[in-house]
Amino acid sequence: MNPTTNPHTMTSLHFREGNSDKEYHAAIEPKGDGYVVTFAYGRRGSTLTVGTKTAAPVPLDQAQSIHKKLVASKVAKGYLVTADSSTPYQQSGEEGRDSGIRCQLLNPVEESELPRLLGDNQYCLQEKHDGRRLMVRKQGDEITGINRRGVVIAIPDPIRVAVASLPVDVLIDGEAVRETLHAFDLLDLDGNDLRRNSYRNRCAALFLLLPPDTPALRRVNTAIDPNDKLAIFEKLRQDGREGVVFKDLDAPFSPGRPNSGGTQLKFKFVESASFVVTGHNAKRSVSLGLYSGDSDTLVPAGNVTIPPNHPVPEVGDVVDCSYLYALRQSGSIYQPVYIGPRADIPASECTTDQLKYKAEVETA
């Protein structure tokens, strides 16, 4: 069968009860000689989890049947159909494929290093946005989203439209917060690989490329002057933002994460880490685990309560939690707060090296 029309059936639903405010979107989209049924769900206003109900294209009547049953199952759970149905994520059918592209990942920096980084013109300062790492590639009419692991993912439609409107092919790196991509690097421009260029030049090219007034595609504010960096740092900390990033302006792009240090460093105002869910407890609580050293065995890292507006994660899932500090003797985190699932982070990266421990007080 070769689709000659695009039914693009879309149904949006929402569920609101107490502290729970969720949305769910289901769509029939043409692919190849058939159709696929895709979905996106999550808390209203957050970056949504996406997927497909069809492993391969199916005939239209079969896709319509799958879509109908999917919507009916949500209605049975208390969801209401939204009058203005729209699909917030455009999926290409390539989701889950390895793109071959890798991000440059940052190592944390200790607070003792802040005076040097804030006072050195060699390093710029940017806000560390609290979202999901996202690279977006434009090749002709094809727009592809790529996560921090290099896997092709669906992207919010406003971001796709904004990138599609750019006059040349690009590969942009940034942080997606809901339907906005906060862009901070430009790796390819009109077929020219910029990775060996200095960050100073890549950042300048990005700022010249992006229009200043596009809500879905924003340039990350970048400060170089020590006075500007200190003022922004203090303002972000006072406002309770996630943290800051320092980048060596003369450094080329280096994919992956160095064993220590590096040319791009992060400092978080609030501690957070990724954990593996190891069990379910009473009252919506789950136990957490981390890998220690080269061991392939998870060690306990405490428990966290899942808020009512989040589904309880399954055992083996990777989740993010913020915390005040970790206790060195027990290895548990103190005052944990559940942030959400992290399907883009492998369990192998959930190690005790992430933790910040409570300072030990010396006694006489």
Q: Which domains does the chain have, with CATH numbers?
A: 10-90 (2.20.140.10), 107-268 (3.30.470.30), 271-354 (2.40.50.140)
Question: Which residues face 135 on adjacent strands?
Answer: 146, 173
Q: What percent of the chain has pLDDT over 90?
A: 53
- Provide the mean pLDDT of the chain: 87
Local confidence band at 213 (pLDDT 50, 70, 90 cut-offs): confident
Of 28-42, 177-191, 292-306, which has the strongest mean pLDDT? Answer: 177-191
**Greater model confidence, 88 or 2:** 88
Mean of pLDDT values over 174-202: 95
Mean of pLDDT values over 63-68: 92
Q: Are 261 and 107 in contact (CB under 8 A)?
A: yes
CA dist 48 and 84 (Å) reads: 18
Tell me, what's the pLDDT at 45?
59
Helix (H) or strand (E) holding 60: helix 60-76
Tell me, what's the pLDDT at 223?
96
Least confident of 38-47, 67-76, 143-152, 183-192: 38-47
**65 Rama class: left (phi>0) / alpha (psi -120 to 50) / beta:** alpha
E strands present in 68-111: 80-81, 89-90, 107-108
Task: Specify the length of the chain in residues.
Answer: 364
CA dist 206 and 189 (Å) reads: 9
Q: Check pLDDT > 80 for residue 352.
A: yes
Q: Check pLDDT > 60 for residue 308.
A: yes
Tell me, what's the pLDDT at 209?
95
Mean of pLDDT values over 249-269: 92
Mean of pLDDT values over 8-26: 79
Local confidence band at 30 (pLDDT 50, 70, 90 cut-offs): confident
Tell me, what's the pLDDT at 336?
92
CA dist 60 and 103 (Å) reads: 38
Q: Check pLDDT > 90 for residue 3.
A: no
CA 27 centroid distance within chain:
23
Angstrom CA distances, 129 to 97, 107, 221, 240, 356, stand at 26, 16, 11, 12, 20
Local confidence band at 81 (pLDDT 50, 70, 90 cut-offs): confident
Neighbours of 208 (CB within 10 A): 10
- pLDDT digit string (tens) for 87-128? 456 665 566 678 899 999 999 998 899 999 999 999 999 999
Helix (H) or strand (E) holding 200: helix 199-209
Least confident of 88-102, 173-187, 297-311, 348-362: 88-102
Q: Could you tell me the pTM of the whole model?
A: 0.69
Tell me, what's the pLDDT at 303?
96
Of 24-28, 249-253, 281-285, 330-334, which has the strongest mean pLDDT? Answer: 249-253
**Greater model confidence, 151 or 86:** 151
**Greater model confidence, 132 or 294:** 132
Tell me, what's the pLDDT at 1?
41
Mean of pLDDT values over 165-189: 95
Helix (H) or strand (E) holding 12: strand 10-17
Helix (H) or strand (E) holding 205: helix 199-209
Q: Check pLDDT > 90 for residue 296.
A: no
Tell me, what's the pLDDT at 361?
45
**Nearest partner of 137 among 120, 119, 150, 124, judged by Cα:** 150
- In one letter, which amino acid is 200? R
**Nearest partner of 217 among 189, 183, 173, judged by Cα:** 183
Q: Check pLDDT > 60 for residue 248.
A: yes
Neighbours of 84 (CB within 10 A): 5
Q: What percent of the chain has pLDDT over 70?
A: 90
**Greater model confidence, 208 or 242:** 208
